[in-house]
Amino acid sequence: MRTTTVVIGAGQAGLAMSWWLARRSIDHVVLERGEVANSWKTERWDSLRLLTPNWQSRLPGYGYQGKDPDGFRTMPETIGFIEEYAQAITAPVRAHTRVTSVRNRGEGYEVATDQGTWQCETVVLATGACNTPVIPSVVEAVPAAIKTLTPLQYRKPDQLEDGGVLVVGASASGVQIADEIQRSGRPVTLAVGEHVRVPRVYRGRDIKWWMDASGVLDQRYDEVDDIVRARNVPSLQLAGYPDRRTIDLNSLTAIGVKLVGRLAGVNAEGKAQFSGSLRNVCALADLKMNRLLDTIDEWARKNGRDGEVAAPERFAFTEVEESPPLLLDFTRGRIKTIIWATGFRPDYSWLDVPVLDHKGFIRHDGGVAQSPGLYLMGLPFLRRRKSSLIDGVGDDARDLSAHLASYLRDRALSRPELIAARG
Amino acid sequence: MTTATTEKTANNGVNVDALFGAREALTKAPEAAQFKWRASCEWVKGTQSRSTVDSFYGLGAEQKHKTRFSFDSDHPEVFASEDSGATPVEIVLAGLAGCLTAGIAAVAQARDIQLHSVKATLEAGMDIRGILGADPDVRNGFDGIKVTYKIDADASPDDIKALVAQSQKRSAVYDIITNPTNVTVEVK
């Protein structure tokens, strides 16, 4: 089979790219291993809601039409939204088509799937940033009696045995999972490394509204001081609760969650060892939050918004007990379950194009991979701070589809026979 | 919102351009980033010993300090010793202070913050029943370390706090103390 562009993945990123390719009259297919919005359907816990408000799910040619712009979609609503988008734009999705390899072939690429092989000139990888949970190597030293789960396997507290739970990681997934497990009556210990603290609502407006309006989310990858660091910033400590309450380490401490430092190891006696750096990672997060709030306040003042919003405020610093525990005995039966909310990474095991760096990530410049005609979508800070949000894929798809179109045009001009071949 | 490029004016005597250059170069050649730090030590008498540092390995080659440095350690008279040098645990505190303070200077330079004075005091609690073997439930090491900085710099209090926090984040000795490290001691 032959087409001009193969898009891999029918989530928001692949579909937004499909909309732009169609608009630029570029022949393409969208290959999907499962169904549209597959990760949303199969790899999310039950209570999860989107972390961005409804109004902020803007896809090319499509926006929120409902009556609750400030609400947060449940997973079924998110899936419905993306399915409706796929239908509305009549995206050429080939569902249940698992890509088994992508390789250079002649002037273009060959995309092998379990439903046949595609020849194409360009490929867009829209397969997501969260395919594989990152689990620290200390997992090997965890006693077999303790059950360990990743956020991709976790569904709800009732799935867990009664008893203590260690949640490792305090970013968006870790804090939300810790909150609902603690409320289910299972005492939670939360191992906290570097994290990003933000209030859900600031001066009466959603934090995402401020970040959107002030241009923080539009900040480009070639404008920041240190893009490597920006791309590796942990996800914001946020939850999309219907009551818009803020989740942070103080709110977790208030319901009884025990905070400890980063999980650093498990010693020979089966005791978990936590880093003594808890106080500093909390100080870093508090100071960073205040810098963001300073930026917001300055923007509001300069843009004459002070009159329409509440007064500036600063939040209590994160409370850390005088001497947080450094050890937790895994052999005494107090901890029944460990949940690794320690991040995710993309899976490129099927990619046979030599573009991976020494850490297994694709070398690219704002989504233009270091292999002509190969593009990336939907990764953290790919082109903008919002690149990994549903709201961010539209602008990236516009830019990258323009690059892709000019790549095809330049090639066609230099190789007239390709135009004939494309027919 | 764009990042403004402004003339850097602070001078804390740290060559951050060289540090950023090294970071760039070592990202491309991670093998050159592999360092080996070394010390040697010889017993003098009683509880006194003398440690020296001279060479180390890094950037793919053997390296030498400009001078050979030596540190005497001993126990104080309250431990019935001669007090010919700092106690080893005090040398650990000195190592932590030196590392954090170097970091503060470097981060301040990178953030264009002029330092005027940086002073730290350190205090670490210890229940010596641990090292005396008097109570098996008491650990040998510190039960905590308190570091207090007084910093005079051309920056807001929050920016100064951020310097100190970032220095901890990038400190080797802070990491060595706050996280477990495998230690192998052999006799030949």
- The whole-number average pLDDT for the span A156-174 is 97
What tens digit of pLDDT does each residue of A281-307 get? 999 999 999 999 999 999 999 999 999
Note whether A138 contacts B: Cβ–Cβ < 8 A: no
- Measured CA to CA, the distance from residue A37 to residue A14 in angstroms comes to 10
Per-residue pLDDT at A91: 96
Question: How many Cα atoms occupy the beta-carbon half-sphere of A206 within 13 Å?
Answer: 21
Same domain, A366 and A412: yes
CB contact under 8 A, A275 and B179: yes
What tens digit of pLDDT does each residue of A168-225 get? 999 999 999 999 999 999 999 999 999 999 999 999 999 999 999 999 999 999 999 8
Query: Residue B30: which of A216, A295, A358 has the nearest Cβ?
Result: A358
Note whether A135 contacts B: Cβ–Cβ < 8 A: no
CB contact under 8 A, B161 and A283: yes
- Measured CA to CA, the distance from residue A191 to residue A263 in angstroms comes to 6
Same domain, A223 and A244: yes
Classify residue A420 by burial, with Cβ atoms within 10 Å: 0-12, 13-18, 19+: exposed
CA B34 centroid distance within chain: 18
Per-residue pLDDT at B169: 96
Note whether A234 contacts B: Cβ–Cβ < 8 A: no
Number of Cβ within 10 Å of residue B15's Cβ equals 11
Nearest CA in chain B to A216: B1
pLDDT band at A419 (very low <50, low <70, confident <90, very high): low
Number of Cβ within 10 Å of residue B169's Cβ equals 17
Q: If you classify domain B87-179 with CATH, what class do you get?
A: alpha beta
Q: Which of A324, A403, A332, A329 is nearest to A369 (CA)?
A: A403
- Measured CA to CA, the distance from residue A174 to residue A170 in angstroms comes to 5
Same domain, A326 and A365: no
pLDDT band at A317 (very low <50, low <70, confident <90, very high): very high
Same domain, A173 and A311: yes
Contact between A126 and A14 under an 8 Å Cβ cutoff? The reply is yes
What tens digit of pLDDT does each residue of A264-275 get? 999 988 999 999
- Tell me the whole-structure pTM to 2 decimals: 0.91
CB contact under 8 A, B165 and A287: yes
ipTM comes to 0.84
Task: Quote the mean pLDDT of chain A.
Answer: 94
B contacts of A290 (beta carbons < 8 Å) = 158
DSSP of A355-373, one letter per residue?
Answer: -B-TTSPBPEETTEESSTT
Per-residue pLDDT at A69: 93
Percent of chain B whose pLDDT exceeds 70 = 96
**A residues 144..173 contacting B (CB < 8 A):** none
Contact between A137 and A123 under an 8 Å Cβ cutoff? The reply is no
- Measured CA to CA, the distance from residue A363 to residue A361 in angstroms comes to 6
CB contact under 8 A, A225 and B161: no
Per-residue pLDDT at A46: 94
Note whether A104 contacts B: Cβ–Cβ < 8 A: no
Q: Which of B58, B46, B90 is nearest to B71 (CA)?
A: B90
Query: Residue A267: which of B165, B177, B180 has the nearest Cβ?
Result: B180
Token pair in block for residue A160: 């867990």
Same domain, A105 and A197: no
Neighbouring residues of A203: CB distance < 8 A, sequence distance ≥ 6: A210, A296, A300, A309, A310, A311, A312, A313
Q: Which of A174, A170, A141, A162 is nearest to A273 (CA)?
A: A141
pLDDT band at B9 (very low <50, low <70, confident <90, very high): confident
CB contact under 8 A, B1 and A277: no
> Could you tell me how many helices (H) and strands (E) chain A has, helices first?
10, 24
CB contact under 8 A, B180 and A219: no
Q: Give me the CATH number covering residue A159.
A: 3.50.50.60
Contact between A176 and A270 under an 8 Å Cβ cutoff? The reply is no
Q: Which of B103, B122, B173 is nearest to A277 (CA)?
A: B173
Range of the domain at A317: 134-340
CB contact under 8 A, B169 and A358: no
Q: Is the pLDDT of residue A324 over 50?
A: yes
Same domain, A147 and A286: yes
A90 vs B13, more confident: A90
B contacts of A287 (beta carbons < 8 Å) = 158, 161-162, 165
* Domain ranges, ordered by start, for chain B: 32-86, 87-179
Q: Is the pLDDT of residue B6 over 70?
A: no
CB contact under 8 A, A280 and B143: no
Nearest CA distance, B178 vs chain A (angstrom) = 4
Contact between A342 and A371 under an 8 Å Cβ cutoff? The reply is no
Place of tokens 């209590």: A316
pLDDT band at A421 (very low <50, low <70, confident <90, very high): low
User: What dihedral angle (degrees, nearest 10) is formed by the CA atoms of A269, A271, A133, A245?
Assistant: 170
Characterize B82-117 residue by residue with b for buried, 16 or more Cβ atoms within 10 angstroms of its Cβ, and e for exposed.
eebbbbeeeebbeebbebbbbbbbbbbbbebbebee
Token pair in block for residue A333: 């039966």
Domain termination site, one of A317, A340, A363: A340
Contact between A379 and A39 under an 8 Å Cβ cutoff? The reply is no
Token pair in block for residue A282: 């909390």
CB contact under 8 A, B178 and A223: no
- Residue of B160, B178, B182, B184 to mutate, testing the A interface (most A Cβ within 10 Å of its Cβ): B178
Per-residue pLDDT at A235: 92
The count of structural domains within chain A is 2
What tens digit of pLDDT does each residue of A343-371 get? 999 999 999 999 999 889 999 999 999 99
Nearest CA in chain A to B179: A275
Tell me how many residue pairs between chain A and chain B have CB atoms under 8 A apart: 52
B contacts of A314 (beta carbons < 8 Å) = none
Residue ranges in B7-65 assigned as alpha helix (H) = 16-28
DSSP state of A415: -
Nearest CA in chain B to A221: B2
Same domain, A189 and A288: yes
Domain termination site, one of A340, A371, A386: A340
CB contact under 8 A, A287 and B162: yes
CB contact under 8 A, B1 and A216: yes
Contact between A152 and A403 under an 8 Å Cβ cutoff? The reply is no
